[in-house]
Homo-oligomer: A and B are copies of this chain.
Amino acid sequence: MSRKLIIQKYGGSSVANVERIQNVAKRVAGYKKNSHNLVVVVSALGDTTDELIELASKINTEPSEREMDMLLSTGEQISVALLAMALHKLGIEAISFTGAQVGIVTDSSHTRARIIKINADRIRDELKKGRVVIVAGFQGVTLTQDITTLGRGGSDLTAVALAKELKADECEIYTDVEGIYTTDPRIEPKAKKIDAITYDEMLEMASLGAQVMQARSIEVAKKFDVPIHVRSSFSPNCGTMIIKEVKRMEDVVVSGVTLNKNEAKITICNVPDRPGIAAKLFKGLSSSGINVDMIVQNVSHLRSTDISFTVSKAEFPKALRITRKAAKAIGAGDVLDDQDIARVSVVGVGMKTHSGVAAKMFDALAKDKINIEMISTSDISISCIIQKKFAEAAVKTLHSKFGLAK
């Protein structure tokens, strides 16, 4: 067997308690005994990060972002030390490092820093000594030695960036599910694990609500062509490969169905049909840091039109307040809102070359008497906003219609 360099990343649920840390150590030890070189990236134990955030909120409801990074980065530091101890117990040579210690240099955008470069000399030295190198995920350090964190999904990003920098043979992302599924198995028990999926498909799935990996890490993996293996830390089975191009035995038009129930819809009626009006409407939202997701504007009639858009539920109250003000300012009509919506989407690179996917989707929903309120499409996905009560039924019907349970 050839000697490979493997990067493994274990999320918070994989190291939630002593027993699970020991399990991870056993798995790592198994790889090590097969003579592979290993760099292991670890997240904070279970709910540690949330607990630290709560502690901070008791002291300051608007804590400084630099100090939050100082605080939260301790979570991963605890994990790496404990995993090193667990490996030592198994007789495996291992050494733990913070992001700062392995030279993960970032910009100074605290709580959402971007990696500038990695000075991986120390990692290479320790690998040469035959040690398992354990790296705290989610964190880095600025050129002035201030500790930063990389934002949500940051540990995945650490793993992907290290895989790129060290020219690793494999990058494994361990999680509490077996891989990427054709849809959420909790909704559709017939959902099947996908063996391989392209970066682009995964990006659509990630941004559309599949929560296994954050879009940002996949973007970086795509940029540097780092193949990712998403798999379960609780089972020996292979998971899902995320790669550049998937060679399939037969054409698969749709790879998965995703569902997002975490959005709300706002509609502005009778918007005057003049250039610059849409810009005015959305400027207030964007300057308040609100992420607008789907935007739909139909053709106008009688010199006015309706504009609808969705935002996350967390930002909905603020977005509604700002929109009402903006609507008044531009002389639009009523502002309607609906929090009981869901977005159901079909994703697949095969769509690019196949027509009729949209028609098939709309037809399937119509047959189940599910009304479509908004439609939005990308190169490799089609999304429909429907009433939330139909969400699960829609996922099941689409999953079956596109033959994903086969």
Interface residues of A (CB under 8 A from B): 18, 21-22, 52, 55-56, 58-60, 63-64, 66-68, 70-71, 73-74, 77-78, 80-82, 84-86, 88-89, 95-96, 98, 100-101, 122, 145-147
Contacts and interface: CB of A to CB of B under 8 A. Distances in A.
The count of identical subunits is 2
Contact of A56 (B52, B63, B82, B95): B82
Contacts of A59: 18, 21-22, 82, 85-86, 89
Nearest to A77: B74
B70 A81 contact: yes
Contacts of A100: 100, 145
12 contacts: A18-B59, A52-B78, A55-B82, A59-B85, A60-B86, A60-B89, A64-B85, A67-B85, A74-B77, A100-B100, A100-B145, A122-B145
B71 A18 contact: no
A277 to B, nearest CB: 41
Given A18-B58, A66-B95, A122-B145, 12 more contacts: A18-B55, A52-B78, A55-B82, A56-B82, A59-B82, A59-B89, A60-B89, A68-B81, A70-B77, A71-B81, A71-B85, A74-B77
Nearest to A82: B59
Contacts of A145: 100-101, 122
Q: Which 6 residue pairs across A and B have the least CB separation, nearest first?
A: A71-B81, A74-B74, A70-B81, A60-B85, A60-B89, A63-B85
Contacts of A67: 81, 84-85, 88, 96
A152 to B, nearest CB: 20
A66 B88 CA distance: 12
A58 B88 CA distance: 13
A294 B140 CA distance: 50
A292 B216 CA distance: 59
A80 B71 CA distance: 8
Nearest to A103: B145
Contacts of A146: 101
A12 to B, nearest CB: 16
Given A22-B59, A55-B18, A82 B71 contact: yes
A402 to B, nearest CB: 47
Contacts of A71: 77-78, 81-82, 85
A73 B70 CA distance: 12
Contacts of A70: 77, 80-81, 84, 96, 98
B60 A88 contact: yes
